[in-house]
Amino acid sequence: MKILPFKIPKTSQESFRLQEDREIHFYDNLHQHPEIQLTLILNSEGKVIVGDFIGAFKPGDIFLIGPNLPHVFRNDQKYYENPQEGQAHSLTVFFEWKSFGDTFLSMPELSHLSDFSRQSERGLFIQEPIKSRIAQLMKCMFRKTGMDRLIVLLKLLNILSAHKNMEPLASSGVYNEFDELDGRKLADIYRFTMNEFHRKISLDEVADLAHMTTNSFCRYFKKRTRKSYVDFLTEIRIGHARKLLQQNDLSISQISIEVGFNNLSNFNRKFRSVCSITPTEFKKLHENKKDILVHA
């Protein structure tokens, strides 16, 4: 059995699925499905895990998730503490290449799509210069029916496949060898970490959560996620720090404490190791981008 397998409902009248989610928060269990998933975030913020990739999401972001790639969109804690119906909002397209026919990707006119299908297996973060156009087409698709909807999907895929500078999200490797127990265990660990990263977390505490010895847990987590738990926790903390640094209402020392670091020098060192720049440099870079937008 796959890691929390998720069944995408489709009727006999459709070869691919459109889904609009407007919830208190997004579905927050680590899961996978054979369909490729293209998701546009319209509202809410949080963290996204795709394979061994950890990042943040915000309104306007677009993620493509490859087939059978474990993933989860986990909203920030405020969406759980102050629930308001519809504050997490997204549009998603689910499709499989086989829906177009067995010879579709082998057609010489579609060689670029064949290359794109391989590239997309590890997931992609869609950015400009094509992000705005992809978002526009996704919204358009929800207003179409029948063949008109299919034509828009093909236009969308053509734009994606023509853009050559997208970096894969997840590392290469097999992600569909987990069983359901692995899925539930990892989902519990992820959920715990995203809720508690702001405080000191010991390996013993997380190992107890997984009902394992500390050494066994460390080996287990590294084997299934391709990173140590300490590195995973650090990436979660730095991801939240990046978000706080863009808000300009806390000092860097305050942010380091807010995300769970007990001293500023350690925070600076870890931030640089993950982001290749210091928190101060990151903050200035974001401020310069805002100035450019204001005066454009």
The mean predicted confidence, pLDDT, of the chain is 86
List the chain domain ranges.
17-162, 197-295
How do residues 210-237 score in pLDDT, each as one tens digit?
999 999 999 999 888 888 999 999 999 9
Dist CA 126 CA 40 (whole Å): 10
Which CATH superfamily hosts domain 17-162?
Regulatory protein AraC (2.60.120.280)
pLDDT of residue 231: 93
Dist CA 269 CA 247 (whole Å): 21
In this chain, the answer to whether the domains covering 17-162 and 197-295 adopt an identical fold is no
pLDDT of residue 23: 93
Greater confidence, 86 or 253? 253
Instruction: Give the domain 197-295 fold.
Output: Arc Repressor Mutant, subunit A (1.10.10)
Dist CA 206 CA 199 (whole Å): 13
Q: Mean pLDDT: which of 52-56, 61-65, 286-290 is highest? A: 61-65
Q: Comparing C-alpha atoms, which of 55, 24, 20 is closest to residue 41?
A: 20
How do residues 158-211 score in pLDDT, each as one tens digit?
999 988 778 889 887 655 555 667 777 888 898 899 889 999 999 999 999 999
pLDDT of residue 296: 47
Mapped onto helix, strand or coil, the DSSP state of residue 121 is helix
How do residues 97-119 score in pLDDT, each as one tens digit?
888 877 787 777 777 788 888 88
Greater confidence, 77 or 139? 139
pLDDT of residue 171: 80
* Residue 94 reports pLDDT greater than 90: yes
Q: Mean pLDDT: which of 110-114, 125-129, 292-296 is highest? A: 125-129
pTM of the predicted structure, to 2 decimals? 0.78
For 85-89, 154-158, 269-273, which range has the lowest pLDDT when averaged over its residues? 85-89
pLDDT of residue 7: 54
* Residue 79 reports pLDDT greater than 60: yes
Q: Mapped to the 3 state alphabet, what secondary structure does 245-273 carry?
A: HCCCCCCHHHHHHHCCCCCHHHHHHHHHH
Name, in order, each residue with C-beta under 8 angstroms of 285's C-beta and a sequence gap of 6 or more: 277
